[in-house]
Amino acid sequence: MSKIGSFEGFQPVSLKQEGDDQPSETDQLSTEEGDPGKDPEPSRISRHPSVTESTLYPNPYHQPYVSRKYFVTRPGAIETAMEDLKGHMAKTPGETIQGFWLLTEIDHWNNEKERILLVTDKTLLICKYDFIMLSCVQLQRIPLSAVYRICLGKFVFPGMSLDKRQGEGLRIYWGSLEQQSLLSRWNPWSTEVPYVTFTEHPMKYTSEKFLEICKLSGFTSKLVAAIQNAHKNSTGSGRRKGLMVLTEPILIETYMGLMSFIGNRNKLGYSLARGSIGF
């Protein structure tokens, strides 16, 4: 029978806790299988300090099963969406794609909506994409030459608001707030709001790929440069004088917020696995 003591470089390690006077099985094994002519010596416990390497991908605080609930993280889903958008852009020749991003839109009623953004040298394309059926549901085109203001800052709410959110975002203006009708301001499904608000997607830290396309700062820098170039090359009566980039709080004017409370807590604005429903 082979002896543990005959292997060089191996030492028995005891797993007994402090204050435990009973010898462990490893201690007994090393004592009993030693040289019979020698008195048994107390085993030496080898303790090596544990070394933990911290990694950013995946996020150590992010549980893997949570990310798998989002269909956008399924293999090939985001790549298919990008190819579909390239096909839509092929119908309007003369534009060069600057990049793709995956962000969360926050509408004027504080509802979260998953969106893919495509920036060209002339247009900001906002896409509502169904990552379950892998199809484009809605497209919104915003001419970059019409954008006149970008605001970066923390979200703020009226003092009486019951549903508030933390964090920072980006708001893009292309129309006059004074010309916005009262009906469109208080209609949660209105598409006539002259601005759009974005924040980072919750799947940002799941992988290095999503960190790149969900980073709000990367989208902002590329968008600002594209808008400035579009203003220089723009001609006609619709041309803006220039772009203002401001750092100020972003107001979301909601009070009761019952709809956003239910929708955001249940992630209704995302392509998400809801589980099976049966009877």
Classify strands 195-200 and 112-120 as parallel, antiparallel or unpaired.
Answer: unpaired
Classify strands 250-251 and 168-173 as parallel, antiparallel or unpaired.
Answer: unpaired
The token pair at 173 is 């203006």
* DSSP codes of every residue in 233-257: H--STT--S--EEEE--EE---SS-
Q: How far is the CA of 231 from the CAs of 9, 176, 197, 221, in angstroms?
A: 71, 18, 21, 16
pLDDT value of residue 66:
77
pLDDT value of residue 7:
43
Q: In which residue ranges of the chain is pLDDT below 50?
A: 1-10, 13-38, 40-58, 60-61, 278-279
Cα atoms in the Cβ-side hemisphere of radius 13 Å centred on 55: 8
SS3 of residue 91 by DSSP: coil
Q: Which of 152, 112, 111 is nearest to 250 (CA)?
A: 152
Per CATH, the number for 64-266 is 2.30.29.30
Q: Which of 134, 46, 99 is nearest to 215 (CA)?
A: 99
Cα 194 → chain centroid = 25
Q: Rounded to two decimals, what is the model's pTM?
A: 0.74
pLDDT value of residue 91:
85
pLDDT value of residue 262:
92
| Dist CA 229 CA 238 (whole Å) | 15
pLDDT value of residue 32:
44
pLDDT value of residue 193:
92
Q: What is the pLDDT of residues 30-74, one digit of tens each?
A: 444 444 444 544 444 444 443 434 444 445 445 667 788 999 999
Angle at 229 between CA 228 and CA 234, to 5 degrees: 100
